[in-house]
Amino acid sequence: MGPVEFIVLAFPEEQLRVPAVAAVMGLRKTGNVRLIDGLVCTKTAAGEVLAAEFDEFVELAGLLAHREAARLIGPEDVREAADLLERGSCALLVLVEHVWAEDAAIAVRQAGGRIAGSVRIPAERLGVA
């Protein structure tokens, strides 16, 4: 298994920007990334933090339906990610095995997003030798 990273892709509104989502998630289809887990986190204008599964969004449905997917992103991760967000914004929280780099960052920036955070997770922490 390659290095695994928790990534917070932040967007300036409470709604996901579909072209950016399609570009990032399209990387999985090309084999440039292995998506292990993901959630959508929203910080409302009132400051309320909401988390939703990918399957609750038409553009994300089925992305975690493969056998390698795992539920590893928890409430503490959502709270940490929300600290990175401004009120009235949202983020894709993704746990990926690294086989991608520059193209994803460019696609997110072109869509007005940013890579708001990144945390490396050692393989032993995931129970992989």
Strand (E) or helix (H) holding 80: helix 75-82
pLDDT at 65 over 80: no
pLDDT at 40 over 80: yes
The whole-angstrom separation of Cα 12 and Cα 6 is: 20
Stretch 25-49: mean pLDDT: 85
Does pTM surpass 0.75? no
- Look at the chain and report how many structural domains it folds into: 1
56 is written with which tokens?
Answer: 């609750």
Helix axes 18-30, 102-110, angle to 10 degrees: 170
CA angle 33–83–19, rounded 5-degree value: 40
Highest averaged pLDDT of the listed ranges 21-35, 57-71, 112-126: 112-126
Domain of residue 95, residue span = 4-126
CATH number at residue 16: 3.30.70.260
- The tens digit of pLDDT for each residue in 90-120 reads 999 988 876 655 677 778 888 898 878 777 7
pLDDT at 79 over 90: yes
